[in-house]
């Protein structure tokens, strides 16, 4: 019946949101760096959206990288944020640290890059690739 604004931080542009439970949620997108680029960011809430804190920012990618377009967690510790092409990130410690997929040996088997990738799942995460491939992260 009514909506309440719970996030309106200048420069932050969330593109996806995912709540693990009623209190803990994650939003992924980008920070608009004063017109210099779209810096990939992830923010987190532990009080149902009343307050948010930045948990990931990647300014190391040449040209500031790609905005994150989706984020999902398969449990309280393991989560995955999807970029448009090549700069996906994942966490295995509840979002304390995030690692680029390209730097990972852990999750090396995944669908090819492409704009048609998407995440889905509940206790497992499924990643669909542009060429029709599907991978599951168990």
Q: Is the per-residue pLDDT at 44 higher than 60?
A: yes
Task: Render pLDDT for 64-119 as a digit per residue (tens, 0 to 9).
Answer: 567 898 898 888 999 999 887 778 889 999 999 998 876 655 555 555 444 445 56
Looking at residue 111, what DSSP letter applies? P
Alpha carbons 79 and 89: distance in angstroms, whole number: 9
Alpha carbons 92 and 84: distance in angstroms, whole number: 21
Alpha carbons 55 and 10: distance in angstroms, whole number: 16
Average pLDDT over residues 36-44: 87
Q: List the domain boundaries for the chain.
A: 12-137
CATH (one of 2.120.10.30, 3.40.50.300, 1.10.1740.10, 3.40.640.10) for 12-137: 2.120.10.30
Pairing of strands 125-128, 118-120: antiparallel
Residue 8: which H helix or E strand, with range? none
């Amino acid at each position: 019946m009514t909506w309440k604004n719970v996030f309106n931080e200048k420069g932050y542009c969330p593109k996806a949101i995912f709540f693990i439970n009623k209190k803990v949620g994650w939003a992924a997108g980008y920070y608009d760096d004063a017109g210099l680029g779209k810096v990939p960011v992830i923010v987190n809430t532990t009080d149902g959206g009343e307050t948010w804190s930045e948990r990931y920012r990647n300014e190391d990618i040449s040209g500031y990288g790609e905005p994150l377009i989706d984020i999902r967690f398969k449990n309280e510790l393991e989560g995955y944020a999807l970029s448009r092409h090549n700069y996906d990130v994942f966490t295995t410690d509840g979002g304390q640290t995030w690692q680029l997929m390209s730097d990972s040996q852990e999750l090396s088997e995944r669908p090819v890059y492409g704009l048609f990738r998407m995440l889905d799942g509940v206790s497992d995460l499924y990643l669909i690739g542009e060429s029709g491939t599907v991978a599951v992260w168990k």
